[in-house]
Amino acid sequence: MWFSRRAVSRQPSAAIAKSALAKTSNQAAVMQRINECYQLAEQHFRKSFTRPSVHFSLRGKAAGTAHPIQQMLRFNAVLLEENPNVFLSEVVPHEVCHLLTHQLYGKVKPHGIEWKALMQQLFQLSGKVTHQLDISSVTPKGVMYRCHCGPLELSVRRHNKVMRQQAHYQCRRCGQKLEPVLND
């Protein structure tokens, strides 16, 4: 033979460990919780499931995202450090359930009846679609603008469109064009 065969590890945690090295104890706890969720599903369905790659690179307001086609989970490291208990009890099972639903049923609605049923059967969770975490630390500050009514905040995205002359905005109350407040 001109090629060699490599032995593939079948240990459940091996696939997860290769995807991301835990930089904090909370990230390590998430990795462990993912493994526990998969073991629970394997016991329930008496079948093995492909383990996902896991990354802690998610930014913005989302706590986590599941990418079923790529078999990948992404988590927001900032929100994890601020809310470790909620992540372990709600966010991780929520995202793992998306991947399990895809492996069991194929392409279905992200929060459809199959997903909700799995959330209730496996994790005894109601299947909430959104989290209730404090996102103030991951919400970008806006840029101050003014009109006749007074000051108001415009998102960074909208401010950048104004600066590139791709858009202009008017006050909903007085109708005046919004102007940026210049810092002196």
Catalytic center residues = 95
Closest residue by Cα to residue 38 from 64, 71, 5: 71
Q: Give Cα separations from 65 to 12, 17, 124, 154 (angstroms).
A: 21, 18, 20, 27
Distance, CA of 18 to chain centre: 20
| Strand order, beta sheet including 150-154 | 150-154, 143-147, 179-180
Residue for token digits 């905040």?
153
